[in-house]
Structure 1
Amino acid sequence: MEEKENQVSENGFRKEIGLFGGISVIGGIVIGSGIFYLGSYVLQYVGMSEGLALLCWIIGGFLSLLGGLCYAELGAAFPKAGGNIYYLSEAFHPLIGSLDGYSLFLISDPASSAAISIALITALFGNTMSDMQIKIASIILIVALSIYNCFGVKLSNILQNISMAAKLIPLIIIIVLGLFMGNVQPDLSLAVKEATGGNTIGMIALGIMASLWAYEGWTNINLVSEEMKNPQKNLPRAIIISLTGITLLYTLFNFVIYRILPLDVITKELADGNLYLGTLATKNLLGNLGSILVTLCMVFAMFGSLNGCLWTPPRTYYALAQEKHWPKAFGKLNPKTGVPVFGFVIETIMAIIFVCFNTLQDLTILVAFTSLIFNSLTVLAVPVFRKKFPDVHRPYRVWTPIVYIYLAAEIILIAYTIATDMRNSFISLGALVIGVIIYYFFEWKLKKEKTKDVS
């Protein structure tokens, strides 16, 4: 009986994820398409300054790690399926938790899956397929992976572990060879090379925003914390190990690109619309072998990232349904696999809609902006939880100043994003307005049901 309790949570989730599995969840989702094309956006946002671009990657990773440390305290003390939904509902109000879930459902989750699938297919077949063909292939890939993940968390985690190992090997080879064989001396000063029409602080803020999308996904480990073995120890370790390693990896990968490609070549490639600088750099370094190596790395990286982005979100919708602010069907687990299958079905449909109607760059900003808002609120839940639940055992406790440093940085980024990209910012804020309407609709339904039961 005790062994069974260790394998299945009180809500029926299967505990199949160990420490390496937790690292694979974070690394598998985070190290995806972003590492291959977002460096181009970061460079453009900071006026083609390679020094500023690397600074943005370091700051983006540092901010993610600070946020991750806060999430580690919450996840270790309260290992609940749905992560943010539970934290925000308990710390502030069920409306706030529900709004996070609605924004994930309406924007972040489908936009992430759509962006990664489009980037993967474009990287593989961009020169031979039309935009329509790319979108059709992206949809087929999303549907196939969603079906696979419906067969249980064990299979999902196995695929995540394999893709994690498979993409790290060629990525590390590229970085090592580039560091020693690259013969360009990049200008790492913070001087702007091309005017972008904004001030330096605003440029850096946009560059950090773009880099943050590449780090996006580390919060997903808290969504599956109820499916982790010994989350009190493994969840904080997984977050710290993953985000530290990923920051180093991203910074070195972009530095290697600058070591191989002169800035004038990079500028010309970006002007021609070629965002995949890593592919070009590796081909210049190793010829056809480099093309094969980077293609393999890209396929495994994006595939694992897409798998993680499809696998974890239905747990959010499950938590929403358990809070009774989402249709009941989302809160039902398949008795054989312990998976919220209905959530996968609807999530897939939403991702298909985003594939059809959005560009890759729009998807990037949409995901980053909504994540900033709710990640900040979740981090603010740390001191609130300490006051509301002072007696709860906290296996990991984050240093309090980290909470407020993270919050200050996030508020600055949110303000600059609204000021510089009002279109996508207001789309994200519009989703929150829709979320308020949805929440009070379910509140109305609950009151109606209670009134009916009383009468």
Structure 2
Amino acid sequence: MEKKNEQQVGLKREMGLFGGIGIIAGIVVGSGIFYLGSYVLERTHMSMGLALLCWIVGGVVSILGGLCFAELGACDPAAGGMVVYLDKAYHPVVGYMFGFTSWLLSGAGSISAVAIALPTALQGYFGFSEMTIKIIAIVLIIALTAYNCFGIKLGALLQNVSLVAKLVPIAIIVIGALIMGRQTPDLSLIPAGYDGGIGGIIGMIAFATVATLWAYEGWTNANAVAEEIKNPGKNLPGALIIGIGSCTLLYVLFNFAIYRVIPHAEIVSMIGEGNLYLGTEVANRIFGGLGGGLVLAAMLIAMLGSANGMIIAFARYYYAMAVEGHFFKSQAKLSKKYQVPTNALIWQAVICIVLVLLRNLDQLTSLVVFSGMVFNTLVVIAVIIYRKKFPNLERPYKAWGYPVTVVISVVLFAGLMINTFIEDPVTSIIGLVVPALGAVVYFIFDAKMKKEKAQQ
């Protein structure tokens, strides 16, 4: 009886609009803002104009997907986000495959990667050994997990504070570069010396846009905490649109600011020598030694906020899976006092720690990119399925331009998936094998549940 009452209490709605924006921007704006611009330039044959266009295209793709997620989150504001939508639109096994992949690999791997990246950023100052880095990463995971066991309100507060704290030094660098920069960047959309056709340009844009999507990764996680957002029909769509839109503007301005300070020839030389952190170079040139400190502070705070946001969001997926019935029952339990999925948070931390001990940063950051795009595409298509299966469901927000925007989103995601499979087939195959393993586990639980019901 006590268990039933605990379940009825449910999660607390204590997060407002800014909290939702904090979850999105807090996860999205990580250390990638400082180095991913180099990869985008490489993939556009060092064309500044094409590179900026790709950052805009990446933002547009994310916003189009965000509009679809906003409709689903507003009409079905349940904890678990994508797990719930995939369950209802297709079959519970599909949502389970996504949640299982996140639990075992992609979600835990993302948290572990950021936790390792934070002390790695300090390695040049303190000379940390590899084992010291792993120990610091484990302590960070344990500390943030323990902190988030005391309620979503505290978790959202840290997210909001870290968001503001990291945006201040980034804003100082961008404004300083735009004002003090003396370069007039060539924003032509044709790379210097390029003699190919329009097809080659389009292929270049697609390949470089995939790199930008690494920087935008994380915007889907606001839906995971929809059950804890006040007035989700209004605040969730607002958080998605404002959050993704703001990140797009920030990325475009940050990269343009780099072009204003560092001459094109020097950028080419730096990237060729493996120096990818162009933002750090900009800060050093404008502010001297203080600039390096600003970048380091922004990177550390960005990674802290990103790790905190992922710890909050991912645990809600596993909670939703357990509530649905095909996962470990313990992960469906909520803390009586704080109404957070404490067991899901703790088990998530355990898996993260195991991954930290077993893998290095490069291995962790390459895990399961392809499967993420597969499930994002399925969720976008779910908007159409929801409208057909649940026509009477109240929809406080409807995706703009439906169904055109949905179709465009699916086509864009499909194109990016095909491109990723061609460029990185091994990661793509892993991204399909792990969800398939999740399906096997689902049917094992399903058979167990049916057996228990038959014995009652």
- Using the size of structure 1 for normalisation, the TM-score is 0.92
Deviation at 1:271, TM superposition (A): 4.0
1:260 corresponds to which letter in structure 2?
Answer: V
Go from structure 1 to structure 2 and tell me whether the alpha carbon gap of 1:349 and 1:268 turns closer, same or farther (over 3 Å shift): farther
Per-residue deviation, 1:135: 2.9
TM-fit CA distance, 1:201: 4.3
The secondary structure found in structure 2 opposite 1:396 is coil
Aligned to 1:425: 428
Matches within 5 A, 1:263-282: 263-282=264-283
Q: Cα deviations across residues 399-428 of structure 1 (Å, max 9, x unaligned)?
A: 211111000000000011111101111111
Per-residue CA deviation, residues 227-257 of structure 1 (Å, 9 max, x unaligned), is: 0111111111111111111100011111111
Structure 1 residue 131: Cα displacement: 3.5
Name the CA shift for 1:18/1:107 in 2 (closer, same or farther; >3 Å).
same
Match of 1:123 in 2: 121
- Counterpart of 1:87 in structure 2 is 85
Confirm or deny that 1:402 pairs with 2:405. yes
| CA offsets 1:335-375 (integer angstroms, 9 cap, x no match) | 11111111112211222333344454554443532221111
Indicate yes or no: 2:411 matched with 1:416.
no
Gaps of 5+ in 1: 1-7
Q: Which amino acid aligns with 2:72?
A: L
More divergent stretch after superposition (430-439 vs 366-375): 366-375
Q: Distance in 2 between matches of 1:104 and 1:199?
A: 35
Whichever residue aligns with residue 149 of structure 2, its letter is C
Distance 1:429 1:403, change over 3 A: same
Whether the 8 Å contact between 1:366 and 1:425 is mirrored in structure 2 is no
Corresponding position of 1:20: 18
Partner Cα distance (1:366, 1:66) in 2:
25
Q: Hey, what's the Cα distance between the residues in 2 that align with 1:111 and 1:22?
A: 23
**Match of residue 240 from structure 1:** 241
**1:147-167 CA deviation, whole Å, 9 max, x = no partner?**
111111111011111111111
CA change 1:272–1:56 in 2 (3 A) is same
Query: Which stretch shifts more, 118-127 or 441-450?
Result: 118-127
Q: Structure 1 runs of 4+ off > 6 angstroms? A: none
Change (3 A) 1:54 1:130: farther
CA shift in 2, pair 1:122/1:258, >3 Å = farther
Distance between the aligned counterparts of 2:37 and 2:353, measured in 1? 26
Contact 1:79/1:226 (8 A) holds in 2: yes
Where 1:312 maps in the other structure, the secondary structure is: helix
Match of 1:216 in 2: 217
Aligned equivalents of 1:355, 1:267: Cα separation in 2: 34
- Counterpart amino acid of residue 158 in structure 2: L
Residues 1:11 and 1:102: Cα distance change in structure 2 (over 3 Å): farther
What SS is found at the alignment partner of 1:172? helix
Shift of 1:89: 0.6
How is 1:303-322 mapped onto 2 (pairs within 5 angstroms)?
A: 303-322=304-323
Aligned match for 2:71, one of 70, 73, 76: 73
Give the distance between the partners of 2:111 and 2:234, measured in 1 at CA: 30
Are 1:133 and 2:132 counterparts?
Answer: yes
Q: For the Cα contact (< 8 Å) 1:42–1:207, is it kept in 2?
A: yes
Letter in 2 for 1:82: G
**Superposition map of 1:51-450 within 5 A:** 51-126=49-124, 128-192=127-191, 200-398=201-399, 399-400=401-402, 401-450=404-453
Give the Cα separation in 1 of the matches to 2:116 and 2:180.
Answer: 32
> Alpha-carbon deviation of 1:11?
4.9
Q: Which moved more, 1:391-400 or 1:341-350?
A: 341-350
SS of the aligned residue for 2:105 comes to: helix
265-274 vs 223-232, greater mean Cα deviation: 265-274
Contact 1:114–1:355 under 8 Å retained in 2? yes
Contact 1:209 1:368 (8 Å CA) reproduced:
no
The residue that corresponds to 2:3 in the other structure is: none
Paired with 2:218 and 2:243, the residues of 1 have a C-alpha distance of 11
Aligned partners of 1:107 and 1:428 also within 8 Å: no
CA offsets, 1:183-209, max 9 Å, x none?
Answer: 2233333345699xx965444333222
Is the contact between residue 121 and residue 138 of structure 1 (CA under 8 Å) also seen in structure 2? yes
- Stretch of structure 1 that moved more, 112-121 or 392-401: 112-121
Q: Which is worse superposed, 354-363 or 337-346?
A: 354-363
- Answer whether contact 1:223 1:315 (CA < 8 A) is retained: yes
Contact 1:60 1:211 in 2 (8 A): yes
Out of 99-108 and 256-265, give the one that drifted further: 256-265
SS at match of 1:439: helix
What SS does the aligned partner of 2:103 have? Answer: helix
Counterpart pick for 1:42 among 40, 64, 75: 40
Contact 1:213/1:364 (<8 A) preserved: no
In structure 2, C-alpha distance between the alignment counterparts of 1:299 and 1:354, rounded to whole Å: 21
- Root-mean-square deviation (CA), in Å? 2.2
Whether contact under 8 Å (2:369, 2:431) holds in the other structure is no
Write the distance in 1 (CA, Å) between the matches of 2:343 and 2:225: 17
Q: In 2, Cα distance between the equivalents of 1:415 and 1:148?
A: 40
TM-aligned CA distance change 1:117 to 1:285, over 3 Å: same
Q: Structure 1: how far apart are the matches of 2:398 and 2:245?
A: 18
1:109-131: CA deviations, max 9, x gaps?
11221222233222233452334
CA shift at 1:42, angstroms?
A: 2.3
Q: Distance in 1 between matches of 2:138 and 2:193?
A: 38
Partner SS state of residue 224, structure 1: helix
Gaps of 5+ in 2: 1-5
Give secondary structure in 2 for the equivalent of 1:166: helix
Number of residue pairs matched by the alignment: 444
